[in-house]
């Protein structure tokens, strides 16, 4: 197991997780087996990606209690340190669990609580990404940008790929968790009209390109100047959006795949191949191309963007 994480009081919002050393993009900061695992109710299967998050609310309390009862006294005591002291075991589980998805983008097959990982707080501009490693039966947290020793580490509790705006993100989060997000991006976006306008534009471009990529007439579409401008503006807007040094952001490789598919469908396959291979390099750095998770992600992108 890998563990470069230290947990201590943040002084602002309870406990938080911090890196114990300098790390580079692609490094693994933590690999951890779950402290306890709860199976979803039978009707929780086959739900959509976002629905599955809300569906987690339907985990029967009795299933959570049943699993907690199986823990040793030491682990029960550890569990009670996660989240707020006044939380019950059930609410602690609900606010701190991870979805266990053997394949990314599919409904979770279980929900897990982790001794270290469950302390990692949310940010809409996270510096970590995580995935379930089926072979190791553990969750793996990967570094997205350079991190220095002592720096707080964050994940995104929301799927990051839809480029939601601050109000949407806050509403989605508040549906699930009892907090209003005041991460650096939310603060900047809510107080600065320029940042908000940029996010808004990025989201519009993203949705427009998703619609184009999924339209049926893709094969007959010619690659117009308008479309070329749209793809160019989209990639430029994403590059501007990413925090400095965050070259491994998963949204970037999804964007490359999206652009690749539009180029490929529009009579410019060379450019499509170029962007597709750029995306593949990023997937490789993040997940390892030959790891199960890397394979799933590559397959998913190929299907999603019809490559």
| Chain residues that interact with Zn ion, rule: CB under 5 A | 124, 181, 183, 186
71 contacts 35 by C-beta, under 8 angstroms: yes
CB of 157 to Zn ion, least distance (A): 10
Q: Please identify, using beta-carbon distances, which residue of 113 and 124 lies nearer to Zn ion.
A: 124
Query: Which backbone phi and psi does 29 adopt, to 5 degrees?
Result: -100, -30
CB of 183 to Zn ion, least distance (A): 3
How far is it, in rounded angstroms, from Cα 171 to Cα 193? 19
CB of 129 to Zn ion, least distance (A): 16
Q: Please identify, using beta-carbon distances, which residue of 64 and 181 lies nearer to Zn ion.
A: 181
Q: Please identify, using beta-carbon distances, which residue of 52 and 121 lies nearer to Zn ion.
A: 121
> How far is residue 52 from each of residues 133, 135, 248, measured CA to CA in Å?
19, 23, 26
Q: Please identify, using beta-carbon distances, which residue of 79 and 124 lies nearer to Zn ion.
A: 124
Q: Which long-range contacts (CB under 8 A, 24 or more apart) does 83-91 make?
A: 83/14, 83/118, 84/14, 89/64, 89/65, 90/61, 90/64, 90/65
Q: Please identify, using beta-carbon distances, which residue of 124 and 262 lies nearer to Zn ion.
A: 124
Instruction: Match 């809409």 to its residue by tokens.
Output: 124
225, containing H or E segment:
helix 225-241
Q: Please identify, using beta-carbon distances, which residue of 124 and 144 lies nearer to Zn ion.
A: 124
Exposed/middle/buried for 104, CB within 10 Å: 0-12, 13-18, 19+? middle
CB of 1 to Zn ion, least distance (A): 30
CB of 159 to Zn ion, least distance (A): 14
The token duo for 197 is: 């306008």
CB of 190 to Zn ion, least distance (A): 9
CB of 169 to Zn ion, least distance (A): 6
- Which residues contact residue 145 at a Cβ distance below 8 angstroms, ignoring those fewer than 6 apart? 25, 127, 243, 245, 246, 247, 248
Q: Please identify, using beta-carbon distances, which residue of 202 and 301 lies nearer to Zn ion.
A: 202
CB of 160 to Zn ion, least distance (A): 11
How far is it, in rounded angstroms, from Cα 80 to Cα 217? 56
Q: Please identify, using beta-carbon distances, which residue of 182 and 306 lies nearer to Zn ion.
A: 182
**Closest to 23 in 3D by CA, of 127, 147, 150, 155:** 147
Q: Please identify, using beta-carbon distances, which residue of 177 and 223 lies nearer to Zn ion.
A: 177
The token duo for 93 is: 């589980």
**Closest to 42 in 3D by CA, of 134, 112, 109:** 109
The token duo for 37 is: 């695992």
Beta bridge partners of 133: 138
CB of 26 to Zn ion, least distance (A): 24
């Amino acid at each position: 197991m890998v563990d470069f994480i230290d947990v201590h009081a943040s002084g602002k919002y309870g406990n938080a997780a911090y890196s114990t050393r300098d790390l580079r993009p692609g490094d693994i900061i933590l690999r951890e087996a779950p402290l306890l695992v709860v199976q979803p109710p039978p009707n929780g299967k086959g739900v959509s990606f976002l629905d599955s998050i809300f569906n987690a609310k339907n985990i029967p309390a009795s299933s959570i209690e049943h699993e907690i009862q199986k823990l040793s006294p030491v682990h029960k005591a550890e569990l009670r340190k996660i989240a707020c002291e006044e939380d019950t075991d059930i609410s602690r589980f609900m606010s701190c669990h991870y979805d266990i998805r053997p394949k990314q983008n599919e409904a979770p097959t279980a929900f897990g609580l982790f001794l270290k990982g469950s302390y990692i707080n949310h940010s809409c501009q996270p510096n970590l990404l995580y995935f379930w490693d089926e072979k190791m039966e553990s969750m793996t947290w990967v570094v997205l940008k350079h991190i220095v020793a002592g720096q707080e580490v964050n994940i995104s509790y929301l799927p990051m790929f839809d480029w939601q705006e601050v109000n949407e993100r806050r509403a989605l989060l508040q549906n699930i968790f009892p907090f209003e997000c005041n991460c650096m991006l939310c603060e900047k976006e809510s107080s600065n009209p320029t940042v908000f306008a940029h996010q808004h534009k990025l989201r519009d471009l993203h949705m427009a390109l998703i619609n184009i990529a999924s339209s049926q007439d893709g094969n007959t579409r010619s690659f117009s100047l308008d479309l070329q401008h749209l793809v160019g503006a989209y990639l430029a807007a994403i590059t501007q959006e990413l925090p400095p040094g965050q070259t491994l952001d998963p949204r970037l490789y999804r964007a490359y795949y999206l652009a690749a598919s539009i180029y490929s469908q529009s009579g410019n396959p060379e450019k499509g191949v170029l962007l597709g291979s750029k995306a593949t390099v990023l997937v490789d750095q993040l997940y390892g191309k030959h790891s199960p998770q890397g394979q799933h992600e590559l397959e998913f992108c190929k299907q999603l963007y019809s490559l």
